[in-house]
Amino acid sequence: MTTWHEYIQRNGTVPDWPYPLNYGKVNEIVTDVLVIGGGVAGCRAAISAARAGATVAIAERGHAKRSGAGGAGVDHWHGAVTNPCSKVTPEMYTRACYDSMGGYTGGHVRYIITSEGWDTLLECEEMGIQIRDVNDEFKGADFRDEETKLMFAYDYENRHIVRVWGYDIKVRVYKEAKRLGVNIRNRITITSLLTEGGRQGARVVGATGVNTRTGEFYVFRSKATVIATGGASRLTNFAPEITASGSMGDMNSAGVGQAIGWNAGAEFVCMEQSGPGMLTGHGYAPYSMGNASNTYHGTPIVDADGKEVPWMDVFGRELKTVEERFLPSEGQRFQLGIGIGITRTAQEFRLNDIPVDLPERLRRGEFKLPLYADLSRLSELERRCIFGMMVGNEGKTRIPIYDTYTKAGFDPDKDMLQAPVMPLEGYWNACYWAAGPNTPPTLRGMGGGGGFLLDWDLRTNLEGLYAASGSTIFGGGCHGESHTTGRYAGRRAAAYAMTAPEPVADRAQIEAEKNRAYSALKQDKAGIGWKEINAAITRIMNDYCGKHKNEVTLNHGLRLLNELKTTELAAAFASNPHELGRLLECHSLISVGELVIKASLARKASNSILDFHRLDYPDMDPPEWDKLLPIRQVKGRAEVRELPLDFHLREPYAPDYEENYRKHAGL
C-alpha cells in the first residue's frame, strides 16, 4: 500500500480524480417511498416501508453502511420503557420530558418513541445486534436483570435505558435494508425537493441530487418522501481539520433536510432555540479524556492529590456510596438520563452528578488540578462495563479509545484518565472532553431542539413529506429515538404511498434545479472555496445570532448571509464533484441560517427554556409568549402562526396520548 506522503513525494502532485466524470447525465429513479439520508433513522424508515410492501430508495450522502452519527456505534439505547424490567410507562416518560421542557418539545413524538422504542430494539436483536449479556460476563451486577439478561444504564431501579453492544448496529441495519431490496444510492447529495407543479407548499413528489463522485444528476420521483438527514452542526461550528466538526457532529450534517424542506414550504418550530455549542465544540475526541458523564456516568473523579470529588443527588445531598449514584433519591420518581434531545431536566427526573459548584470549589482551592477519572474505585463489574463493554461499543470509541489506549498499556484497574485542564467554567458539566479548553465562550448551537413540525403520523404540513431522526425533527432525541421515529415514519409513508397518486414531477422545476446545482462548475477559477464560505456562514451565525441578539443584529445577519450567497458563493468554483457537493451544502446552510434568524425575529420575547436572549425584549418568559411559532415560506416569504405548546392533544387530535397513538400508529 502506498501512503499519501509516498504518493506525493513520488509524483510531486495530487492524484487525478479517481472516478469517471459525467456532469449533466440525468438518472431517473421512480419509487413508492424515497428516504433522504441513510443514517440509522433513514435505514429504519426504509426497512419498515419495504416490510409494508412499498418499493423504497435511499439517497445517502456518504455510504449507508457506516454513515451518519450512529455509523460508528452506540452503547446505550434510550426510551425502551416497555421492556419487561421497566417501571416507567410511555406516558410517564413523555410527561417527564414535556414538563422538564415546559412544553417546548414534541410530546407526541416522545410518546411514539416510548411506545415503540423497545419493539424497535427487539428488531435490532433479530438483525443480529447483541442487546443482552448472553455470555454472562456481568452476572450478578446491579445493572443486570438475571432473567432477561438485559443491562441498564443511569437509573438501575427504573430500568428504561438499555446498554447495548452496538458497535456494528449500522452495518446490521444496512444489511437488512439491502436484504429487503431497498435501492440504496450512496454518494448522492440531495439538493431540493420536487413539488407538484413546482409550487412551494404543494405535495412533495420526489427530490433531486448530485453524485459527489461522478457529478451525475439524479431525479427521484416518489409517492412519499421521508427526510432523515440529521442535524446542521456545520451551521455554527466549522473546523474540519481539528476535532470540532468531526467530534459529535458529522461533516455531512449540513442541514440539507431542513433547507430543502424550508424551501419547499414545510413548517418548522423552535428553530430559534440556541445554547452553548458544547458537543460540537473544539473539544477532545469523544470520551477520550477523564470525565464522569454519559458512557462514564458514575465514575469517581479525583484531584491531583487523589482527593475524591463528591457525587451529589439532585437536592444537593452528598451521596455516600457508589451504588447510590445509579439510583433515584427520595423525592424523585425516576431519572431520565441525558442526551435525549431535551436541554433541561426537571429536578424530579435529573441524574445524580458531581457538584454543579465544582468551578467555585476549584477556585477556592478545595480541589487541585488536574482532575482524573479513577475507574479503579468502581466495582469490578461496573469498571469492566464502562471501560470495556461501553467504550468498546460507543460511537467513535471502539478503535480510537478502547483499542488504542489498551494497546498503549492503559489498565483501568490501576491507571487513571486525566481530564482536560481548562478555564474553571469548563468544569460546570462532567462531560469534560466536550468542553475543551479552547471552546470560545460565544460558541452557540442553533436550532438545538427545533426542527420539522410533525403531526401524529410524523408527517410535515406538506402532503407526501414525512420526517424522522434525532436532530431533524421537533421532539427527536438520540440513537434509539432515531431508529424508532424512522421505523414509524417509514411505515406511515408506505401506507400513504399505497393509495397516493402517481408522482408527476414538474420539468421546469427539475431544469431550474439542474442549472443551479451545476452553476459552480461554470464560474471563474479565481473564486474562493467551500471551506472559506462555510467558515463565513458559521461566523455570521455566531456573531449576529449568538447568545445575545436584537432586531438589528438579526437583520444584519440576514443581510450578510444574502450577500455571501449572492457574491462569494455565487462566484465559487468547484473543481470536482466533491467540492460541488460541499458548495451545494453551503447553499443549504445559508437557507437554514435564514430559517433560524427568521424564527429568532418572530419570537419577540426572551425565553429561558429555549436559552433565547433578545436584548430588545429583555423580559424573560412573558406568559403571552409561551407558545410555539410555526414558520414556513409561502411564495418565498416567511409566514409565522401561533400554536399552543400542547397542540398534539388538542383538536383535531384526541386529548389523550394513547388514543392518538392508537389512531395513527397504523398497527
Q: Which residues in this chain contact ligand FAD in the complex, by CB under 6 A?
A: 36-42, 59-62, 67-70, 74-76, 78, 188-190, 228-230, 248, 250, 252-253, 256, 286, 339, 394-396, 469-470, 478-480, 482
Q: Residue 478: count other Cβ atoms within 10 Å of its Cβ.
A: 22
Closest among 393, 471, 412, 472 to 76, alpha carbons compared: 393
Shortest reach from residue 296's CB to ligand FAD, in Å? 12
Given a contact cutoff of 8 angstroms between Cβ atoms, the answer to whether 270 and 628 are in contact is: yes
Least distance in angstroms from the C-beta of 313 to ligand FAD: 24
Residues in a beta bridge with 163? 76
- Quick one: 342 or 560, whose CB is closer to ligand FAD? 342
CB of 307 to ligand FAD, least distance (A): 30
C-alpha distances in angstroms, 369 versus 362, 366, 443, 474?
Answer: 8, 10, 25, 40
Concatenated DSSP letters of 355-414: -TTHHHHHHHTSS-SSPEE-GGGS-HHHHHIIIIIITTTSTTTIIIIIIHHHHTT--TTT
Is 358 or 569 the residue whose CB approaches ligand FAD more closely? 569
Q: How far is the CB of 157 from ligand FAD (least distance, A)?
A: 20
- Outline where 503-620 has alpha helix (H): 507-518, 530-544, 551-564, 570-571, 577-602
Closer by beta carbon to ligand FAD, 230 or else 283: 230
Map residue 452 onto helix, strand or coil: strand
Full DSSP string of 187-215: SEEEEEEEEGGG-TTS-EEEEEEEETTT-
Judge contact between 476 and 483, C-beta under 8 A.
Answer: no
Report, in Å, the least distance between residue 36 CB and ligand FAD.
5
Beta strand spans in 237-348 (E): 268-269, 274-276, 301-302, 308-309
Q: Which is nearer to ligand FAD, 115 or 288 (CB)?
A: 288
- Closest to 650 (Cα-Cα) out of 625, 628, 623: 628
Separation of first and last alpha carbons in the chain = 53
Q: Closest CB to ligand FAD among 381 and 431?
A: 431
Q: What does the DSSP 8-state code read for residue 652?
A: T
Question: Measured between alpha carbons, how far is 147 from 149 in angstroms, rounded to an integer?
Answer: 6
Q: Residue 295 or 660: which CB sits closer to ligand FAD?
A: 295
Nearest-5° angle of CA 587, CA 478, CA 459?
65
Least Cβ distance, residue 185 to ligand FAD (angstroms): 9
- Give the three-state DSSP class for 225: strand
Q: For 313-338, give the DSSP string.
A: -TTSPBP-SSGGGGSPPTT-S----S
Minimum CB distance to ligand FAD smaller for 464 or for 557: 464
CB of 246 to ligand FAD, least distance (A): 9
Between 392 and 480, CB nearer to ligand FAD: 480
Query: Residue type for 33, please?
Result: V
Q: How far is the CB of 651 from ligand FAD (least distance, A)?
A: 30
Cβ closest to ligand FAD, residue 39 vs residue 201:
39
Minimum CB distance to ligand FAD, residue 68 (Å): 3
In the bound state, the residue with its beta carbon closest to ligand FAD is: 39
Residue 60 beta carbon to ligand FAD: minimum distance, rounded to whole angstroms: 5
Q: How far is the CB of 229 from ligand FAD (least distance, A)?
A: 4
**Closer to ligand FAD at the Cβ: 31 or 607?**
31
Closest CB to ligand FAD among 70 and 300?
70
Q: Provide DSSP, 89-149.
A: -HHHHHHHHHHHTTT-S-HHHHHHHHHHHHHHHHHHHHTT-B-B-TT-TTTT-TTB-TTT-
